[in-house]
Copies of this chain bind each other. A is one copy, B any other.
Amino acid sequence: MTVIPDLAAVEAMDASDPLRGMRDRFILPEGVIYLDGNSLGAASKAAYDEIDKAAREEWGQDLIRAWNKDGWFEMPLELGDRIGRLIGAAPGQTVVADTTSINIYKGLHAALGLRPDRSVIVAEGGSFPTDLYMAEGVASTRPGTTLRLEGVDAPEIEDLIDDKVAVILVNHVNYKSGELRDMATLTRKAHEAGALIVWDLCHTAGALPVDLDGSNADFAIGCTYKYLNGGPGAPAFIYVATRHLTEARQPLSGWWAHARPFAFEQSFDASAGIRRFQCGTQPILSLRALKGALDIWAEVDLDALRAKSISLTDLFIKLVESRCEGLGLTLESPRDASRRGSQVSFEHDHAYPIMQALIERGVIGDFRAPATIRFGFTPLYTSFGDVWRAVEVLEDILRTGAWKEARFAVRSAVT
């Protein structure tokens, strides 16, 4: 029989949490339990320090000299390698650049270019939509390219893979349900069919350990403003396996992707290595907030992170299902922790006003249409006590019907 922890047990979990010291590194508003770090990660003192340094010391005092003196030009590669450690990528395969959407475009184009005799892109109907929109954009520039969708053309992505498939674009963790795919197995199936695979790590990087190299992945992309805490709209990353770096090409061939960017040549000549997946000049101030956030990540043990993530999400599910039993909630996320990212989603017929009521009471998660309330658990700054208090508020809102009074809407511009 499942044992439901009481408050004393929850407090004991916090007391023995090896990551509990990390919370002090972050800025968290008073009176808020923040369970939306899977949409926008929290600010940190380290990020503020880097922003201040970049703006005041470097931009303000070094001006143009900062591009060399302060390492601005190489920063996308340096930060890429630091993210690489968190996603199982050896150095030289990851670069911070542009946005997730744009990196999807680069990755899909590169993959299609490596499979010139194939013309099908496989993706998930339940993907965060920008993945599908960018796949459509790529297809619009490659006549004959078609898109097959899991959940539309077949129930499972594996059923869509055949010898016409050039590339599979797939989320490691689904943004809505939190379902975690088996990276090594699906990558192997793609390769057995002669296809390549692009992994979307938006809801994975900083949420759990990833093993891109060990899984033999081809490409990966992801954002840095969710679990990595890089700041609102911080530049995204792209990973390209070393074995593809010589042949892989992408059409956003800006000067930062050139072999000799400062020779100002008239013709494009792609850089060796991951630099060829850059394009143009990057937003340095936003990059520097990310650098600060990654300074914190350098101290984090990813196995401890995953263990705490599972404990947090398991605890949340247990408490909600026991305390809110019969109040209309249905678990949408996998119950099996090994198949779940660091978020928990429930369905409810009145999901939208319930989430508004939670936010009014200081418990910030988010709503996803049509009927999902979604809660992200960020092991660096979410405590077990937060989980306890969040469930108390949720239970109260459901029992009292307080959600019928919820007043305002939060619309998120991040996934």
How many angstroms from the CA of A56 to the CA of B136 in the assembled complex?
38
How many angstroms from the CA of A386 to the CA of B302 in the assembled complex?
54
Give residues 1-41 of A contacting B (CB, 8 Å): 27, 29, 32, 34, 36, 39-40
Residues of B within 8 A of A283 (CB): 231-235, 283, 285-286
* Contact A136-B267, Cβ < 8 Å, known A48-B55, A51-B55, A414-B281: yes
Residues of B within 8 A of A282 (CB): 99, 233
Q: A101 is contacted by which of B47, B149, B254, B284 (Cβ under 8 Å)?
A: B254
Q: Does A185 contact B (CB under 8 A)?
A: no
Q: A232 is contacted by which of B34, B72, B256 (Cβ under 8 Å)?
A: B72
**CB-defined interface of A245-264 with B at 8 Å, one 1/0 digit per residue?**
00001011111111001111
Q: Does A325 contact B (CB under 8 A)?
A: no
Residues of B within 8 A of A279 (CB): 99, 101-102
Total count of chain A residues near the partner, CB < 8 A:
96
* Contact A262-B414, Cβ < 8 Å, known A64-B36, A100-B281, A133-B268: no
User: Which residue on chain B has the smallest CB distance to residue A175?
Assistant: B264
* CB-based contact A72/B413 at 8 Å: yes
* Contact A134-B252, Cβ < 8 Å, known A48-B55, A141-B142, A364-B63: yes
How many angstroms from the CA of A257 to the CA of B368 in the assembled complex?
19
* Contact A59-B125, Cβ < 8 Å, known A67-B413, A149-B266, A410-B65: no
* CB-based contact A267/B55 at 8 Å: no
How many angstroms from the CA of A257 to the CA of B102 in the assembled complex?
12
* CB-based contact A132/B281 at 8 Å: no
How many angstroms from the CA of A36 to the CA of B56 in the assembled complex?
18
Q: Does A366 contact B (CB under 8 A)?
A: yes
Known: A40-B59, A68-B409, A102-B102. 6 other contacts (CB 8 A): A27-B60, A58-B232, A64-B412, A67-B410, A68-B410, A129-B265
Supply 19 A–B pairs (Cβ within 8 Å), ascending by A: A27-B61, A34-B63, A40-B59, A43-B59, A48-B60, A55-B289, A65-B364, A65-B410, A101-B255, A102-B280, A105-B252, A109-B141, A128-B264, A133-B258, A137-B251, A138-B251, A141-B251, A231-B283, A281-B413
